[in-house]
């Protein structure tokens, strides 16, 4: 195994389990802060780890801005010292009232959210009025800068921004652009494309400002477009990578330019050797995310492995016979997940390794959809 993933007394650890290498998480966070140009320009997405202990670690490094997708993640952040939380996910149905309840329950935290439709703005306004909120809610306009998932077309967003600003319970606080479609392998090309992708948002920003509206925040992107947006000189820029905190095999392969290292590995064991040249691991799709289709993990110690069928608790692996013979049932096998964020959410708690020793267990608190509210 690579030296950075050395763990003593592996025989004491349950499998399948997720193991977090704390020094690597710290390095990833420090690298992100450095790239962004300081903690004020970084708003990491918490969906990657969903862990209270990791929120505290981020706060201890000065990271005081957080992004999340669920009310449970937002509540977990507030409970663990987060003072500035952006829920960048469309709030509909009961989640509108839950968001307002969150604001009331944690008065020392500033909660912000995004809207991309007049319905959403009006629903939030109604809920805030009903609850008698004392301060206007900070709202960012979610812009579709090419991904086509959520967001309003920047060319048509002027009036929505003005509407949000005109509602007594809301305060238009800036723009949110998530460009998860920027996936070009070559980093120079990716930087060019991701930078150009923001032009329509910048034009909107100029129009709003010339109309006398303030646009304080400009929240940008994820991990692949981070090398572009971390250079942005636009006032109010905040970069919002998430995966970079734990990183994974997918991004490490698709974007080798990114200076992050996988910090969460799966510990599995051989549970069967059903025929020569084949081993079966306890790594079903209840232990590792079922996306992407095909290879869902990398086995760093077994580069010749061919991944076969996967079921809920089993993963079949074919190997040259001579190698498979060295892996009788019970042998530990480490895996790097391709997609770490949904993999984390499959685990109730994770082992934490520091200096090669398991020193703690962290709960994946916000894998639950509801914490208190
Ligand atoms: C709105 C939003 N912002 C930021 C991110 C973080 O992106 P990444 O996982 O590439 O770091 C995501 C990822 O899904 C997202 O949906």
The pLDDT value recorded for residue 321 is 98
CA of 46 to the centre of ligand 1 (A): 9
- Rg, the chain, Cα only: 22
Gap from CA of 143 to ligand 1 centroid (Å): 14
Longest dimension (CA), the chain: 73
Question: What confidence tier does 14 reach under pLDDT thresholds 50, 70, 90?
Answer: very high
Element of type H or E holding 194 = helix 187-196
Kindly state whether residue 77 falls inside one of the protein's structural domains: yes
Cβ of 241 less than 6 Å from ligand 1: yes
The answer as to whether 80 is a domain residue is yes
Is the CB–ligand 1 distance for residue 113 below 6 Å? no
Residue 294, pLDDT score: 83
Question: Is residue 160 domain-shared with residue 234, that is, in the same domain?
Answer: yes
Pocket test for ligand 1, best of 223, 242, 340 (most atoms within 8 A of CB): 242
pTM above 0.95, yes or no: yes
Residues 60 and 196 in one domain: yes
255 falls within a domain: no
182 lines ligand 1 (CB under 6 A): no
147 CA to centre of ligand 1 in angstroms: 12
What phi and psi values does residue 222 have, to the nearest 5 degrees? Answer: -125, -150
Q: pLDDT of 101-139, one tens digit each?
A: 999 999 999 999 999 999 999 999 999 999 999 999 999
Residue 216: inside a domain, yes or no?
Answer: yes
Q: Could you tell me the distance, in angstroms and rounded to a whole number, from the CA of residue 206 to the centre of ligand 1?
A: 26
In which domain, by residue range, is 293 found? 3-18+260-367
**Ligand 1 pocket, 45 CB below 6 A?**
yes
Which atom of ligand 1 has the smallest separation from the CA of 244?
11
| 310, 172: one domain | no
Q: How many residues does the chain have?
A: 373
Atom 8 of ligand 1 has which residue's CA nearest to it?
Answer: 222
Q: Is residue 252 part of a domain?
A: no
Task: Indicate if 162 and 266 belong to the same structural domain.
Answer: no
Clarify whether residues 236 and 308 are in a common domain: no
310 & 232 share domain: no
Residue 66 backbone phi and psi in degrees, to 5: -135, 150
Query: Is 221 in the same domain as 158?
Result: yes
Domain assignment present for residue 254? The answer is: no
Q: What CATH number is associated with residue 288?
A: 2.40.37.20
Boundary of a domain, candidates 242, 274, 307? 242
Ligand 1 touching residue 262 (CB < 6 A): no
Which of 242, 276, 296 is a domain's end point? 242
Distance 245 CA to ligand 1 centre (A): 12
Q: Where does residue 26 rank: exposed (0-12), middle (13-18), buried (19+ CB within 10 A)?
A: middle
- Residue 1 has a pLDDT of 79
CB of residue 250 inside a 6 A radius of ligand 1: no
Task: Kindly report, residue by residue over 133-189, the tens digit of the pLDDT.
Answer: 999 999 999 999 999 999 999 999 999 999 999 999 999 999 999 999 999 999 999
Our mutation pick for probing the ligand 1 site, out of 178, 218, 341, counting the most ligand atoms within 8 A of Cβ, is 178
Q: Is residue 279 included in any domain, yes or no?
A: yes
Q: Kindly state the tokens that stand for 83.
A: 């003072």
- Which pLDDT does position 291 carry in this prediction? 87
Full 3-state SS string of 135-187: CCEEEEEEECCCCCCCCECHHHCHHHHHHHHHCCCEEEEEEEECCCCCCCCCH
Q: Do 293 and 214 share a structural domain?
A: no
| pLDDT single digits (tens) 287-346 | 999 988 888 999 999 999 999 999 999 999 999 999 999 999 999 999 999 999 999 999
Cα of 3 to ligand 1 centre, how many Å?
30
Q: Angle at CA 187, nearest 5°, toward 184 and 192?
A: 80
Task: Measure the CA–CA gap between 281 and 328, rounded to whole angstroms.
Answer: 11
Domain count, the chain: 2
CATH code of the domain in which 65 resides: 3.20.20.10
| Bridge partners, residue 296, by sequence | none
Same domain, yes or no: 218 and 102: yes
Q: What percent of the chain has pLDDT over 90?
A: 98
Ligand 1: nearest atom to the Cα of 89: 1
List all residues 6 or more positions away from 266 whose beta carbon is below 8 Å from its beta carbon: 16, 17, 18, 19, 283, 287, 288, 297, 334, 335, 336, 337, 343
229-279 confidence digits (pLDDT tens):
999 999 999 999 999 999 999 999 999 999 999 999 999 999 999 999 999
Angle at the Cα of 191 (from 187 to 193), degrees rounded to 5? 115
Check if the beta carbon of residue 271 is closer than 8 Å to that of residue 327: no
Q: Clarify whether residues 167 and 279 are in a common domain.
A: no
pLDDT at 220 over 90: yes
Q: Cα(74)–Cα(88) distance, rounded to whole angstroms? A: 10
Are both 283 and 212 inside the same structural domain? no
pLDDT digits (tens, 9 = 90+) for 15-36: 999 999 999 999 999 999 999 9
Instruction: Report CA(302)–ligand 1 centroid distance (Å).
Output: 30
Last residue of a domain, one of 209, 242, 275: 242
**Any ligand 1 atom below 6 A from CB of 5:** no
Mean pLDDT computed over 346-355? 98
Contact 65 CB / ligand 1 (< 6 Å):
no
Atom of ligand 1 nearest to the CA of 222: 7
pLDDT at 2 over 90: no
HSE value, Cβ hemisphere, 13 Å, CA-based, for 366: 27
For residues 266 and 230, membership in a common domain is answered with no
Distance from the alpha carbon of residue 12 to the mean position of ligand 1, in angstroms: 35
């Amino acid at each position: 195994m690579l030296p950075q993933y050395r763990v003593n007394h592996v025989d004491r650890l349950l499998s399948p389990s997720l193991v977090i290498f704390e020094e690597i998480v710290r390095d990833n966070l420090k690298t992100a802060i450095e790239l962004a140009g300081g903690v004020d320009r970084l708003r990491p997405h918490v969906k990657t780890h969903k862990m209270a202990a990791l929120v505290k670690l981020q706060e201890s490094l000065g990271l005081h801005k957080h992004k999340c997708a669920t009310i449970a993640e937002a509540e977990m952040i507030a409970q663990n010292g987060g003072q500035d939380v952006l829920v960048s996910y469309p709030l509909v149905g009961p989640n509108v009232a839950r968001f307002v309840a969150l604001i009331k329950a944690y008065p020392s935290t500033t909660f912000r959210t995004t809207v991309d439709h007049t319905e959403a703005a009006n629903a939030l306004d109604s809920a805030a009025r009903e609850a008698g909120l004392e301060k206007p809610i900070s709202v960012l306009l979610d812009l579709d800068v090419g991904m086509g998932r959520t967001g309003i077309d920047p060319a048509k967003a002027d009036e929505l921004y003005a509407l949000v600003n005109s509602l007594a319970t809301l305060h238009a606080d800036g723009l949110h652009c998530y460009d998860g479609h920027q996936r070009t392998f070559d980093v120079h090309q990716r930087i060019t494309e991701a930078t150009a992708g923001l032009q329509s948002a910048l034009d909107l920003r100029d129009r709003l400002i010339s109309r006398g509206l303030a646009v304080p925040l400009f929240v940008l992107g994820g991990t692949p477009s981070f090398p572009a947006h971390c250079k942005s000189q636009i006032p109010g820029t905040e970069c919002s990578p998430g995966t970079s905190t734990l990183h994974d095999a997918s991004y490490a392969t698709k974007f080798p330019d990114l200076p992050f290292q996988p910090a969460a590995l799966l510990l599995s064991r051989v549970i069967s050797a059903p025929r020569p040249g084949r081993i079966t691991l306890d790594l079903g799709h209840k232990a590792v995310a079922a996306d992407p289709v095909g290879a869902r993990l990398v086995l760093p110690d077994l580069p010749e492995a061919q991944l076969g069928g996967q079921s809920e608790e089993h993963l079949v692996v074919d190997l040259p016979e001579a190698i498979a013979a060295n892996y009788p049932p019970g042998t530990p096998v480490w895996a790097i997940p391709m997609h770490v964020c949904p993999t984390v959410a499959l685990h109730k708690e994770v082992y934490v390794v520091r200096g090669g020793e398991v020193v703690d267990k962290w709960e994946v608190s916000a894998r639950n959809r509801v914490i208190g509210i």
